[in-house]
Structure 1
Amino acid sequence: MHLPDFEAWAIFAAAARLGSFTAVSQELAISKPTVSKAITRLEESLGTVLFHRTSRKISLSTVGKVLLPYARAIALDGEAAMEAARDTAHLLRGQVRLAAPLSFGLSHLAPVLADFMCAYPEILVDVQLSDAHVDLIEESFDLAIRIADLPDSSLRVIRLRKMQAHFIASPDYLKRRGMPKQPEELVDHDCFIYSNQGTLEIWHVKGPDGQKIAVRPKCRFQSNNGDIMLPGLIAGRGIGYLPDFLCQDAIDRGDLQTFMPGWGFGEIALNLVMPPSPHRPARVNALIDFLKQRLS
């Protein structure tokens, strides 16, 4: 019985992520021939080609794409084992990569991360803020914050808390145009549409008793970010549907008013999402525990 070539598997994962043997040699501080030999060694042991090579770039073969998740799992488990061996409770170090929605990241996550960095001065935090859905494994994120009703997947999910969302408009708009009582009435109103919520042409609105109604909204404003909708909504230019962390302050001030209580696009929650491997570096677990404590 031959032991797996763990080094070659880890180098294969790095090469797939970086797209270049040169980049791998620079990141891992090993020679380019060492990288090339490791990939060749792995290909020979498997009896297949993992990369298509040209003078300019490398690209994964069909078999390489199939085997890549296993290589990433091997690399992550090895890193976690090394971290567990050398980390102590009072000295955690290294980088954590975190993805989060833009508006929530600026308003709620930023102060939490500032406190985290004070508590763990040796941990480097790389935060990427975007409302777009990111592939944690493909883009090498340690974890992500997602505000959604998450579908079943291989990713690990920690649900932090339920979040509320509301249909909202300014009092002036509702006085001028009338307050919708049922989803069917939304077709007569100017709608602000969040473009990352799925099908834009049809709103599938769910009621308090589980009923579902399909509505074709009239789009007045469309964006992949909720914050940018607020000034237009407050100015009375239309109606929108936003989570409470974005609109609650404006509601409390009286700038916006909720309507159609109980109706919405389904339950949403604040979630931490991680790659499927159960083994994580101690520094990642430290951030997860910190976020659970502060954001739950």
Structure 2
Amino acid sequence: MDTLTRMRAFINVVEAEGFSAAARRIGKSKALLSKYVRELEDELGALLLNRTTRQFSLTETGHVYYQRAMEIVREIDHLSETVRESSGDIRGRIKLSAPRTFADVPIGQSLVDFAAAHPDIVLDIHLDDRFVDLVEESFDLAIRITKLEDSSLIARRLAPFRLPLCAAPTLIEKYGRPKHPRDLQHLPCIVDTNNRFRHQWHFREADGSPILVPVSGPIEVNSPLAVRTAAVAGLGFAIQPDFIAAPEVKAGRLVPLLDEYLTDGAGIFAVFPHRRYMPAKVRALVDFLARWLKENCSEDDRL
């Protein structure tokens, strides 16, 4: 058995955090994966994994080997993809990170449609509201709904969106309409803890100067959909992506406020780590998402 096969087996076991999970993921037996990893350790003369019936972890040597092995396997895969790309053949696995919100709202259909259009590509989708480390965790691509500020990454803006301030009519009737963003520091607000600024909401004056407003309220939650539900219930003023708020605004259950003070620059981005080469399969996904969002998200879907 060649070293590359053993190396891939080791990487699969590390990424799945165990032999059983890796076996289920790639359709190999647990015994076979264990054999490959054991042979790799014998070949190297070093222990890569600490494993008992209850615990699984990388040794220090295993951690170093994993990082370097990932680079080697990635380069080999990219070389193969370069050849396939020249023949128009797009296939393989794409490890994708996306926020749960992306999958939970209608725009998540874009990933399903891509998978249907490209049966030779496996979309390995990890839904997580945190910002994953693309290099450390070996992701090919991440979808981020944000104002992008990390200059260490390569990004393509797939679609714009706004972050409107909204409130239920009953809440406005109770507290009145805020006339300036700073009024919010004295009013109940719903905090989305996915927002990196959380309790410091960002607005801007007409001259472009920034306004930072400290906010607090009865609910803090890491879900824009839960924020919307709480806002509709009249529990507080809320900031949320326009494609989340739009249905409730159109139904009259939420009212946009202080539009003239909103910041711009937010968008749905495809983000990739710095690499010399972008695989054809990743480029195909990014192009598909940009086209899908343009065709399926009209201005009526935003505020």
TM band (smaller chain): 0.7 to 0.9
Separation of aligned partners in 2, 1:22 and 1:53: 15
Offset of 1:18 from its aligned partner? 4.4
Whole-Å separation in 1 of the counterparts to 2:42 and 2:19? 12
In the alignment, structure 1 residue 78 sits paired with structure 2 residue 80: no
Which of 219, 223, 226 does residue 221 from structure 1 map onto?
A: 219
* Residue in 2 that maps onto 1:295: 293
Post-superposition shift, 1:212? 3.3
Aligned residue number for residue 207 of structure 1: 204
Residue 113 (structure 1) aligned with residue 115 (structure 2): no
RMSD of aligned alpha carbons: 3.4
Letter in 1 for 2:203: K
1:220, distance to aligned residue in structure 2 (A): 1.6
> Can you list the C-alpha shifts for 1:93-138, whole angstroms capped at 9, x where unaligned?
3333322222332323333233323322232333333323333344
- Counterpart residue number, 2:229: 231
1:126, 1:74 → 2: CA distance?
20
Q: What do the CA deviations read for 1:171-206 (whole angstroms, capped 9, x no partner)? A: 332122111122221122111110111344x31423
Selected match of 1:135 from 130, 133, 136: 133
Structure 1 pair 63–265 and aligned structure 2 pair: CA distance change class (3 A) = farther
Change (3 A) 1:262 1:14: same
User: SS state of the match for residue 184, structure 2?
Assistant: helix
Give TM-score scaled by structure 2 length.
Answer: 0.76
Instruction: In structure 2, give the amino acid aligned to 1:175.
Output: E
> Which SS does the other structure have where 1:232 is aligned?
helix
Q: Who is 2:247 aligned against?
A: 249
Q: 1: CA distance between counterparts of 2:202 and 2:43? A: 55
SS in 2 for 1:165: coil
User: Could you say if the C-alpha distance between residues 39 and 152 of structure 1 is closer, same or farther in structure 2, counting changes exceeding 3 Å?
Assistant: farther
Q: Provide Cα deviations, 1:62-107, integer angstroms capped at 9, x if missing partner.
A: 5765675443222112112223434686754333332222233232
Which among 166, 174, 179 is matched to residue 176 of structure 1? 174
| Residues 157-176 of structure 1 aligned to structure 2 (within 5 Å) | 157-176=155-174
2 CA distance for matches of 1:233 and 1:245? Answer: 15
Unaligned runs of 5+ residues in structure 1 are none
1:203 alignment partner AA = Q
Q: Following TM superposition, by how much is the alpha carbon of 1:207 offset from its aligned partner in structure 2, in angstroms?
A: 0.9
Structure 1 length as normaliser, TM-score?
Answer: 0.77
The answer to whether the 8 Å contact 2:200/2:213 transfers is yes
What secondary structure is seen at the aligned counterpart in 1 of 2:105?
helix
Q: Secondary structure at the match of 1:227?
A: helix
Distance 1:134 1:250 in 2: 31
Change (3 A) 1:284 1:174: same
Structure 1 distance, partners of 2:39, 2:135, is 25
Give matches, 1:90-101, under 5 Å: 92-101=90-99
Matches of 1:19 and 1:115, distance apart in 2? 30
1:21 to 1:41, Cα distance in 2 relative to 1, 3 A: farther
| Residues 100 and 128 in structure 2, CA contact (< 8 A), matched pair in contact too | yes
Q: Which moved more, 1:124-133 or 1:267-276?
A: 124-133
Give unpaired runs (5+ residues) of structure 2.
Answer: 295-303
Preserved contact between residue 160 and residue 267 of structure 2 (Cα < 8 Å): yes
Contact 1:77 1:277 in 2 (8 A): no
Q: Find the residue that maps to 1:221 and give its secondary structure.
A: strand
Aligned residues between the structures: 286
Matches within 5 A, 1:52-71: 53=50, 59-60=57-58, 65=63, 68-71=66-69
Name the residue aligned to 1:144. Answer: 142
Secondary structure (helix, strand or coil) at the match of 2:129 reads coil
- 2:256: which partner in 1? 258
